[in-house]
Amino acid sequence: MFVCGVPKDSGEFSRLLCVERRLFGDLSLSSAMADSIFRFRPEIYSAILGQGESVAAYTSAFPLKPEWADAFIAGDVTEPDLTPGMLLGRHDCLEGARVYIGSVVIDSACNPLMKSTLLASLVAWRVRQMRAASVKRLSVMMTAVTKRGERMIRSVGARQLNDGANRKDGHAIYGREITPGFLGRVTAAMERCLNSGLVQMDFDFRPGVQAVGCD
């Protein structure tokens, strides 16, 4: 049995962060800054965790203040530069906001059917998160650092916002509008992959948690 939701304590978050640092290294946030951002808005991170030390999948989604979204697209700011002060707080409206999707990670050891189930669960959780906040429209931004990321970006119909040559991390940035119609199509496509008997959904979007980093 797996559980999809916000990491509930420092141990769960540290497991996620260790995977992040192992996969992406200096392209990701430092452990200390990830910890600060997690304390600021835990629901930026969602994870599918199993028993023991298992991290089956996770996502991160950073709602950026307008001026920092512009700087991110321009390439003057990249993921390792993010701080809590660049992000919208819980009191800020997310309608029409620009959200940077930092990571979408599925355990490579899973078989294709399991990968589809885990991805569908992550998407379903984020869709419910938007609806819980009464958000109908927003924009998402993504960079691709792996071939799998490139395929995912193409599959959602994102368009290039800036070439990697213009950004200090060297990676092109892509974006697309998330509308009610798009959410409806995605939800319908993912429903056939959901397996409620395998992944339990925890829709507590604002848990009281604290976290520590990964050495």
Is residue 109 assigned to a domain? yes
Number of domains in the chain: 1
- Burial group, residue 40, by CB count within 10 angstroms (0-12, 13-18, 19+): middle
Mean pLDDT of the chain: 91
pLDDT above 90 (res 210): no
pLDDT at 212: 43
Task: Pick 1 or 159 by higher pLDDT.
Answer: 159
What's the order of all strands across the beta sheet hosting 173-178?
159-162, 173-178, 138-143, 98-106, 55-64, 45-49, 2-5, 199-201
Tell me the CATH number at 164: 3.40.630.30
Q: Give residue-wise pLDDT tens across range 19-41.
A: 999 999 999 999 999 999 999 99
Q: Give residue-wise pLDDT tens across range 75-125.
A: 999 999 999 999 999 899 999 999 999 999 999 999 999 999 999 999 999
The Cα angle at residue 166 between residues 168 and 77, in degrees rounded to 5: 40
Q: Looking at residues 142-165, what average pLDDT do you find?
A: 91
Is residue 211 assigned to a domain? no
pLDDT at 58: 97
Among 76, 130, 57, smallest CA distance to 99 is for 130
pLDDT at 197: 80
Q: Cβ(39)–Cβ(208) under 8 Å?
A: no
116 phi and psi, to 5 degrees?
A: -65, -40
Distance CA(155)–CA(131), nearest Å, equals: 23
pLDDT at 86: 98
The strand ranges marked E within 72-155 are: 98-106, 138-143
- Which pTM does this prediction carry? 0.92
Is residue 96 assigned to a domain? yes
pLDDT above 80 (res 211): no
Is residue 56 assigned to a domain? yes
Task: Pick 135 or 193 by higher pLDDT.
Answer: 135
Where in the sequence is the domain holding 76, given as residue range(s)?
2-201
Is residue 132 assigned to a domain? yes
pLDDT at 186: 87
Distance CA(53)–CA(97), nearest Å, equals: 34
Is residue 206 assigned to a domain? no
Is residue 93 assigned to a domain? yes
Confidence of residue 205 (pLDDT cuts 50, 70, 90): confident
Q: Helices 31-40 and 10-24 meet at what angle, rounded to 10?
A: 130
pLDDT at 213: 42
Token pair of 4 as six digits: 């999809």
42, 104, 209 from 9: Cα distances, Å: 10, 21, 6
Is residue 137 assigned to a domain? yes
Of the chain, the percentage scoring pLDDT greater than 70 comes to: 96
pLDDT above 60 (res 161): yes
